[in-house]
Amino acid sequence: MNIFGFIVRSIVYYRRRNVGLFLTAVVSAAVLAGALLVGDSVRYSLARIVDLRLGATDVALVSQKRFFTVALADRISEKLDADVAPVMQLVGMVSNSDSTERLNQAQVLGVNGRFFDIGSAADPFAERKEGIVVNQQAAARLGVKAGDEILLRIGKPGQMSRDVGLVPDTDLTVVYRGQVIKVIDDEGFGRFSLRGDQVAPFNIFVPLNWLAKKIDKDGLCNTLLVAGKGLSTKKADAALTEVISLNDVGLETKAVAGSDEIHIKSRRVFIDEFLSEDLLGIKGAKGHLTYFVNEIRSGEKATPYSMVTATEMAGIAEDEIVINQWLAEDIAANVGDTVELAYYVMADMRKLIVHNSKFTVKGIVAVDRGFGERELMPDFPGLSDAENCRDWDPGMPVDLDKIRDKDEAYWDKYRGTPKAFITLAAGQKIWANRFGNLTGARYQGQPNLQRITEELTARIDPSKAGFAFIDVRQAGQKGVSQATDFGQLFMGLSMFLIAAAMILTSLVFGFSIDKRSAEIGMLKAVGFTAGTVRRMFLLEASGVAFTGCIFGAALGVLYTKAMILGLSTVWSGAVSATFVYFYGNFSTVCIGALCGFSVSMFSVWLSLRKHLRKEARELLNMGAEDISSLVKGGAGKSLWVSAAAFAGAAAIILRFSGSGGSGQAGAFFCAGALLLVAGISLVRLVLKGASVSRVGSLGTLAGFAWRNASRRSGRSLAVVSLIAAGSFLVVSIGVFRHDPLAHAAERDSGTGGFALFGQSSIPVVGDLNDLKGRKKIDLLDKKFDPVRIVQMRVRDGDDASCLNLNRAQTPQVIGVDPVKFQTRAAFGKVKMIKDPVAGDVWQLLEVDGAAGVVNAVADNATVIWALGKKLGDTIDFVDSKGHKFKIRIAGIMGNSILQGSLIISEKNFVTRFALEDGYRMFLVDTPPELSGEVSEKLAASLVDFGIDVSTTAGRLGRFSEVENTYLSIFQLLGGLSLILASVGLGMVVLVNVLDRRGELAMLRAVGFTRKTLTNAIFIEHFALMSLGLICGVGAAIIAVLPALTTPGRQLGFGILAIIIALLTVFGILFIWLSAFAALRGELIDALRKE
Amino acid sequence: MLELIDVVKEYPAPGAGDSLKVLKDISLTVEKGQSLAVVGPSGSGKSTLLNIIGGLDRPTSGKVIFDDCDLSTIGDGLLAVMRNLKIGFVFQLHHLLPQLTVLENVLIPTLAGKMKYSRKENAQRAESLLDRVGLADWMSHRPGELSGGQMQRVAVVRALINAPQLLLADEPTGSLDKAASENIADLLVELNESVGVTLIIVTHSMKLAERMSKVIEISDGRLV
């Protein structure tokens, strides 16, 4: 025989006694392996979703507001030797044929076969070149199948921003009723999305060419998907710079008929500043800016609605003007006369302000001087394509009654030929805007067309147009790798279950060691060192624990499936209803088992350490009673610990009382935890005190029972601690539940005091609070006077809310007028960075940080959890002109309905994201009684904008649901732990009674009835359970005091009452069962054996 | 071989009371091969004295010189080696391990550390010793199948497996009937004489004590 053989013999012989250790090892390993497997499964699911939504796409060029040619895809494909798919990505609204089901946030994708090649899927349009294909999510939402008709409303991109009051705010969508030819699933590339989140989009696929024609963008697209091995954005950007054409940045070249000039103009009316610089950089370039003026007046005479061109002219000062013959005659102006121009300049929300400028007539020229004057007018929407003046439909107010026959005649003959010319410098001063400072440029010498085109093309920096490839795959993978770690989360949520298993392991192994004290004593007596004995027992325990962990790991797989089932059903809020695939990684199972094994062995080691401290002679005599442990004390230490913990708790409570906020909640939680420690130490002190009592306290059955409780104070204290800590956690954590409805009307709540939240697919332009706006949304009735709408601009990005399980890389940005929040004191106190100027965070939004850093506010969940940032951190962005800039988190507010976005000032927004037009997010202030009616009116009047209106409380509730679900899981697992604790209590009863069978037999012999003994045992252990509950619940009540007085928080008394009642019932049940089991049979026999 | 010089053992009293003096200035010399009985009333300190001699306990003051080594000052590791190789213990309760056979129980001390003999020699010695105490047919049995006297004989053999110089027995017959007690007493005396092992027995039995070459009495912690 060797030591190993000895250990094997011991394992086999004490197999029944080792069942406890085996079972607790099973629980530890199952819980740990389960938690890790849940983490793996969620991570695997997110990674799988990245593959499903991207197909083989590695990098992508996304430009929602600028359109480039489909041919660019071919050129890049050739250059990079990679698969490139041109795509048109637009937003849309879809409804089924009878409009009973509607989808407002659909992604309309114009695609061709190359798109499905990248998705490694069959092209559903291969046989039919028209029709609509929907993904399974959209089909399910709409309740449609192949063959059904649906109504598709597609957001039509404007020629230029609709924020410009010069263009019409009509013609926002195109409508198409078509047949669904196929429903495609995730494997069929139906889940395609470039957004870095796990939420399945509602995709509507149509042929690219068809869609481009439908929205007047024939031959254009706004997205390129590139799939190529080893492809980097740097390489792709370099290829783009090489192959980009003028047409791709919206420029068109044309030989001017009847002259030797080349004319360049933009599809977008105004030419961006960066392109202007390139255009004017060519030798001989002559830029011009043609503007629509309301009136040209000289004295009493005036000409309505004319084009005036600002261009480079020699010998003319900035305050001088050249007019054409027709105009000179119409207003009877001569050289030297003063001419006044009245024109609109653009203000916020499509507002137009009339400005006037005076010029002195420098000269009078012919209407048509043969250099293509007619071409100087850009393609103003609603004007340039009108056959006659009365058909004009520009965005600005035009009084058609002012148009005279002679004006009509001029239009018929000369169209938009400018009637006057000023210098370019003068024109740019009064008409340049954020969309550009030229409407065209001219070059001499038509034979040079190719050379000029090439020279210009070479000058174009695509990044300035915001054209830059994004490594969507890497971003997706990064988002997954930095995603919420559900493994750690579940590990944290299972923390108490694991702790309970540890304490139980320690207890059951302690029971076993107690029984084998004499064996340890004998081994030490015959020369085994404490280290050798420890190793032998550890090895023996490791054999049992290892076996338990193997079973536990296997059970962990089932536990994981149960958790995943929970996440798919009752806890779906925790994963935003994402389908979680089970992913059983063998190494994870092994790690879980190993962790469970370590936890068990640590508990065993703790238990052994205590026993091996005893001398051999003590151990050899332990069958009688470990009297030394009763008299050795430790009471003094308990007293100090208890006093210190009480003092600490009192200090915290005094310091933080009335301070409010989350700091107070945290402080009180700490105070509660300290009180828990104080309570448990006090119980230890009392148990020690009872154990050395010499007189009194034994006069009653209760006194006798209490004295018994103090005999094995370690066991008793373990039970008290287990129950106290469990009930503390379950009760105190419950208070962190949010009730969004409790405080929703307050301005300082997460709703900002707003009643309704709206989000549209198509941007709404103009002010909804002015007369025109109110008319638009049907709120003209006087009773709606108190209703106010705060409109916000949106720049799409990753959802940085808790609903996105991935780490958001480029979050959505909201632009708002900060005064709207400041005057309302909305969203309460906001933690902000120190600033010498700004008084509050809303002012801070208007202040630019150093080096053009833009200040932003976001809510706590967005910053901390979704972005993994802190106050003062910055996030990189690229503006619409291709400039990189940083958004700094200058303020963090409490969790709010604006979760998921960075909020910047509208001023900064329009500067940085000039191409994002209109407003897509709305907060509505309305009296509660009108809330329903206002909601209906908004939904009905803005139906074509695809608006979804919901209550702010409901929206906040959806965000709170995630956190509340975590708390539910924690409470459930905490409840399970408490049941485990009550099992532990039962085991303690059983072992205590079995240990004392001899003395109980003696008591029977001297006349105690079995009932009296059972009562004594019950009182002893019920007292321990009650002490645990009193310590735990008492400390928890202190911990949650501030929360109880905070609106929006609730204690969830119902759940807590159920948990405590269950624990009490289970506790009582296990005490009775154990006492009954231990006291059955003839106790007197035990006396005889003694 | 063994010399105790002014050995005192005190235990702290509960609370702030005076400490309890269990042994008071015990001085004693035991020669090699001698047999010694320690007698005295219950609570007089006999077992404490034996524990101190055997290195299971340490004196509060005084010296315990065994084999030229002061057991009161050496480290725990060395003390364990001394107990393993040079001292054998027989307890009132045999403390046999129920999971092992008789032979394996005897071999337990050989697993403690450095072996005095080879594995094979240990097995042969164990079998020979068991044969000598009349348990040759019980070697593969478990302790549960043995009588009280047989179990105590196994405990004696276990104490002798490493051929100790000193055999300590604490009430070895205390839990046995008369016949078994006599049997154990015969065995211990015979071993003392034939093997030459020094024997110290703590006992209440004057009959057993008288069979030793020397008898000392302890009363109230002092040698009488």
Average pLDDT of the segment spanning B193-197: 86
A527/B51 CB distance under 8 A: no
| Maximum Cα interatomic distance, chain B, rounded to a whole number of Å | 56
Q: What is the dihedral of CA A12, A14, A20, A22, to 10 degrees?
A: -20
B112/A620 CB distance under 8 A: no
In whole angstroms, give the CA distance from residue A31 to residue A552: 8
Give A12's contacts in chain B (Cβ within 8 Å).
Answer: 99
Compute the nearest-CA separation of B119 from chain A (Å). 9
How buried is residue B210: exposed, middle or buried, by Cβ count under 10 Å (0-12/13-18/19+)? exposed
Average pLDDT of the segment spanning A973-993: 76
Average pLDDT of the segment spanning A176-186: 94
pLDDT at A261 over 80: yes
| Amino acid type, A85 | A
Q: Which pLDDT band holds residue B176 (cuts at 50, 70, 90)?
A: confident
Which of A197-206, A369-378, A816-825 is predicted least confidently? A369-378
What pLDDT is attached to residue A1046?
54
In whole angstroms, give the CA distance from residue A641 to residue A639: 6
Q: DSSP assignment of A144-189, as one string?
A: --TT-EEEEEEEPPPSS-TTSTTS-S---EEEEEEEEEEEE-GGGT
* 3-class secondary structure, B42: coil
Give A527's contacts in chain B (Cβ within 8 Å).
Answer: 80-85, 109, 112-113, 162
Average pLDDT of the segment spanning A211-215: 94
- In this prediction, the answer to ipTM > 0.85 reads no
Option in A14, A525, A532 nearest B83 (CB): A525
Compute the nearest-CA separation of A676 from chain B (Å). 28
Which of A679-688, A846-855, B123-132 is predicted least confidently? A846-855
Which of A162-166, A229-233, A351-355, A805-809 is predicted least confidently? A162-166
Residue B40 makes CB contacts below 8 A (sequence gap 6+) with B46, B217, B218, B219, B224
What pLDDT is attached to residue A728?
82
Average pLDDT of the segment spanning A1064-1080: 79
pLDDT tens string A561-575? 988 888 888 888 777
A525/B56 CB distance under 8 A: yes
Give B162's contacts in chain A (Cβ within 8 Å).
Answer: 527
Give A9's contacts in chain B (Cβ within 8 Å).
Answer: 99-100, 104
What pLDDT is attached to residue B181?
82
In whole angstroms, give the CA distance from residue A590 to residue A21: 19
Q: How far is CA A662 from CA A859, A953, A1047, in A?
A: 14, 21, 13
A6/B76 CB distance under 8 A: no
What pLDDT is attached to residue A532?
86
Nearest CA in chain A to B11: A628
What pLDDT is attached to residue A1090?
38
CA-nearest of A182, A199, A88, A87 to A136 is A182
Percent of chain A residues topping a pLDDT of 90: 37
Mean per-residue pLDDT over chain A, rounded: 85
Average pLDDT of the segment spanning A857-864: 89
Q: DSSP assignment of A1014-1083, as one string?
A: HHHHHHHHHHHHHHHHHHHHHHHHHHHHHHHTSTTB---HHHHHHHHHHHHHHHHHHHHHHHHHHH-S-H
What pLDDT is attached to residue A64?
66
Average pLDDT of the segment spanning B143-160: 87
Pick among B56, B92, B127, B175 to test the A interface (most A CBs inside 10 A):
B56
What pLDDT is attached to residue A631?
39
What pLDDT is attached to residue B11?
84
B80/A524 CB distance under 8 A: yes
Average pLDDT of the segment spanning A969-987: 75
Q: DSSP assignment of A454-522, as one string?
A: HHHHHH--GGGGT--EE-HHHHHHHHHHTS--HHHHHHHHTHHHHHHHHHHHHHHHHHHHHHTHHHHHH
pLDDT at A970 over 60: yes
What pLDDT is attached to residue A628?
39
Give B83's contacts in chain A (Cβ within 8 Å).
Answer: 525-527
Pick among B46, B101, B103, B108 to test the A interface (most A CBs inside 10 A):
B108
pLDDT tens string A15-37? 877 887 888 889 889 888 988 89
| Amino acid type, A5 | G
In whole angstroms, give the CA distance from residue B16 to residue A636: 13
| Chain A to chain B Cβ contacts (< 8 Å) | 81
- In this structure, are residues B10 and B20 in contact, taking their beta carbons and an 8 Å threshold? yes
Which of A656-660, A1085-1089, B65-69 is predicted least confidently? A1085-1089
CA-nearest of A509, A954, A1011 to A750 is A954
B113/A521 CB distance under 8 A: no
Nearest CA in chain B to A621: B93
pLDDT tens string A724-752? 888 887 777 766 665 666 677 888 888 99
Query: How far is C-alpha B206 from the chain's CA centre?
Result: 18
Option in A1, A13, A615 nearest B57 (CB): A615
What pLDDT is attached to residue A694?
45
Which of A658-672, A944-958, A1005-1019 is predicted least confidently? A658-672
Give B107's contacts in chain A (Cβ within 8 Å).
Answer: 1
Q: Which pLDDT band holds residue A617 (cuts at 50, 70, 90)?
A: low
| Amino acid type, A64 | Q
B57/A631 CB distance under 8 A: no
In whole angstroms, give the CA distance from residue A520 to residue A620: 8
Beta strand B35-39 with B198-202: parallel, antiparallel or unpaired?
parallel
In whole angstroms, give the CA distance from residue A313 to residue A288: 10
In A196-285, the DSSP E strands lie at 203-207, 220-221, 223-227, 251-255, 261-266
Nearest CA in chain B to A617: B56
pLDDT tens string A574-586? 777 778 888 888 9
Beta strand B166-170 with B198-202: parallel, antiparallel or unpaired?
parallel
Q: Which pLDDT band holds residue A697 (cuts at 50, 70, 90)?
A: very low
Option in A10, A529, A620 nearest B99 (CB): A10
A617/B51 CB distance under 8 A: yes
Average pLDDT of the segment spanning A974-996: 75
Average pLDDT of the segment spanning A317-337: 95
User: Does the model's pTM come out above 0.80?
Assistant: no
Pick among B20, B50, B99 to test the A interface (most A CBs inside 10 A):
B99
Q: Which of the two residues, B223 and A694, has the higher pLDDT score? A: B223
Option in B14, B91, B108 nearest A620 (CB): B91
Option in B56, B77, B85 nearest A617 (CB): B56
Reported as type and span, the H/E element at residue A357 is strand A352-365
In A369-445, the DSSP E strands lie at 420-423, 440-444
Nearest CA in chain B to A4: B111
B84/A615 CB distance under 8 A: no
A529/B91 CB distance under 8 A: no
Backbone angles phi, psi at B127, to 5 degrees: -65, -40
- In this structure, are residues A203 and A792 in contact, taking their beta carbons and an 8 Å threshold? no
Option in B57, B111, B162 nearest A3 (CB): B111
Percent of chain B residues topping a pLDDT of 90: 25
pLDDT at A520 over 70: yes
Whether the CA torsion B75, B76, B79, B80 is positive or negative: it is: negative
User: Tokens 């008898």 label which residue?
Assistant: B215
Average pLDDT of the segment spanning A538-558: 91
A529/B56 CB distance under 8 A: no
Q: Which of the two residues, A988 and A213, has the higher pLDDT score? A: A213
Which of A454-458, A664-668, A683-687 is predicted least confidently? A664-668
Give A529's contacts in chain B (Cβ within 8 Å).
Answer: 76-77, 80, 112-113
